[in-house]
A and B are shown apart, each in its own frame.
Chain A
Amino acid sequence: MGNGKWIEFASLVVLFLLWAALANLAQSRVFPDPVTVGYRLVDLIRSGPLVRDFSLTLARSLAGFVGAMAIGCLLGILFGRVTWLDRFFSLWVVIGLNIPALVVGILCYIAFGLTDLALVTAVILNKVPLVTTTLREGVRALSADYDELARIFRLARWRVLLRVHLPQLVPYILAAARTGLSLVWKIVLVFEVIGSDGGVGFRVGLFFQNFDMAGLLAYTVTFVGLVLGIEYAILRPLEERSRRWRNP
């Protein structure tokens, strides 16, 4: 483990200890200590809902994320390349960026009913403008010098796309993925609270109604673990791989 990773690990331990200390100081039912939350977590895993809820939320988030990234990347590349198309749709993108996520979610629930289709559609509609904007900037920043090189050496179109353009767009795609992922989690959870019969958001709603702080924190800890897992197992290795040529 590198020095930077030790610091991050130490920071996590300090956060955990701080939680334990504050909980012991507060001695309140609404602020349980890590051990109580740990027992509740084991209980929730054994009794079943936790794994089921996280599987549901994960599947919905993944569907929304993949859909939004695919559509957003495609639109971003198109808008970055075709000026008139960008001009025509730029206002749509601004509107899309500024409509509250909740409004989109409720509209989708009304239109499609309280279904997974409505939820995933709402997630996609909320996230696509953000991905589109990021990728559009990436396409606009593509190097004209490298395009000239590609033309002079008569590179095939697919080769230009894969070897010249895509590597320049990777930082933008990763930025869109990172910000998009955090946005998707939040939107999915809120929509599950509003109109779903399962998933982390639905369960959090139930915990809220029963003032079950230990359950709420058990889900939060699991959620944080999942997000950190994705960060360290997928996003960071991808980023490091995409940047390795900078510091060979």
Chain B
Amino acid sequence: MAKPIDIRVRITRFEYAGSVLFNDFALTVPAGQSIAILGASGVGKTTLLRMIAGDQTGAGVEVTVGGIPAAASPAAGYLFQDARLLPWLSAAENIQLVAPNLTHADIADLLAKVGLPGQGGTYPAALSAGMQQRVGLARALAVQSGLVLLDEPFAALDPDTAQKMRETLASLTGGKTRIIVTHDPLDAAMLADRVVMLTGRPARIGADFVLDQSGGGDLTDRLDRVAGAWARLGATA
């Protein structure tokens, strides 16, 4: 498995659509950490994730991924909110698109791991939203990277499917650096060992705390902690 990767973000100033989105902003993610970034819609969560993915750059933006500027770094595993599969490619072809070196057996194995055995030849139109998102997860895992970026990956799914996906994701991406952008405290409680909450405009870090995922405290406690912090932040914002 690829080695986990550390991330450093330093933004002196970044404007988007005529408004200052980030001003004197810094975030460091140690290698192997699983971090959830929470914030209201429009606060800049996805922009931040795209900066780490190397797709959003700017004069005041300095992001390094494993010590390399993000735009020049190799691709990370990325899971979009909408799965974003190319509809004219089968599930297997969608995976092979981002990882051309994988064999058919590798891809079949990946699909089996995400709960879609034997679905390699199926086109996205024949898959449910949950199944498409699973293919999206397999595609993110196909990239040989120690970094996985997740952009509200369960927002479009029903609660049951979302829960199964969280469990699959947790089991398959353990050991990698994982950044999940979400507005759902449950995502953070289940998947993150650190929570960063963004608030205001320009965005600032309103809360930054560690969650113990190693067996200390159950899910309800973690969820209460995240939801409580979120409520306090909302009250003071």
Contact = CB atoms under 8 A, between A and B. Distances in A.
Interface of A: 145-146, 148-149, 151-155, 159, 163-164, 167, 245-248
A149 B80 contact: yes
Given A246-B125, A248-B125, A164 B86 contact: yes
B97 A152 contact: no
B84 A146 contact: yes
Contacts of B87: 245-246
A245 B125 contact: yes
B181 to A, nearest CB: 14
B122 interface: yes
A247 B87 CA distance: 11
Given A148-B55, A163-B89, A245-B123, A153 B98 contact: yes
A159 B97 contact: yes
B122 A155 contact: no
Interface residues of B, number: 24
B165 to A, nearest CB: 19
A240 B80 CA distance: 30
Contacts of A163: 86, 89, 97
Contacts of A149: 80, 84, 86
B125 A145 contact: no
A154 B100 CA distance: 12
Contacts of B50: 148, 152
24 contacts: A146-B84, A148-B55, A149-B86, A151-B54, A152-B50, A152-B53, A152-B55, A152-B76, A152-B78, A153-B78, A153-B98, A154-B75, A155-B98, A159-B97, A159-B100, A163-B86, A163-B97, A164-B86, A167-B86, A245-B87, A245-B89, A245-B123, A246-B87, A247-B125
Interface string B106-128: 00000000000000001111100
A9 B74 CA distance: 56
Contact of B126 (A145, A148, A155, A248): A248
Contacts of B76: 152
Given A145-B84, A167-B88, A245-B87, 4 more contacts: A149-B84, A152-B76, A152-B78, A155-B98
Contacts of A248: 122-123, 125-126
B143 interface: yes
Contacts of A167: 86, 88
A176 B9 CA distance: 48
A152 B77 CA distance: 9
> What secondary structure prevails in chain B residues at the interface with A?
loop
Contact of B75 (A148, A152, A247): A152
A245 B100 CA distance: 21
Nearest to B99: A153
B125 to A, nearest CB: 6
A163 B124 CA distance: 15
Nearest to B125: A248
A153 B86 contact: no
Nearest to B90: A245
Contacts of B54: 151-152
Nearest to B142: A153
Contacts of A146: 84, 86
B16 to A, nearest CB: 15
B84 A155 contact: no
Given A152-B75, A155-B97, A155-B98, A245 B88 contact: yes
Most chain A Cβ neighbours within 10 Å, of B75, B82, B124: B75
A167 B88 CA distance: 7
B151 to A, nearest CB: 10
B143 A153 contact: yes
A175 B122 CA distance: 27
Contacts of A152: 50, 53-55, 75-76, 78
Nearest to A147: B55
A32 to B, nearest CB: 49
A245 B88 CA distance: 5
Nearest to B139: A153
Nearest to B96: A163
A153 B140 CA distance: 9
A167 B84 CA distance: 15
Interface string B32-69: 00000000000000000010011100000000000000
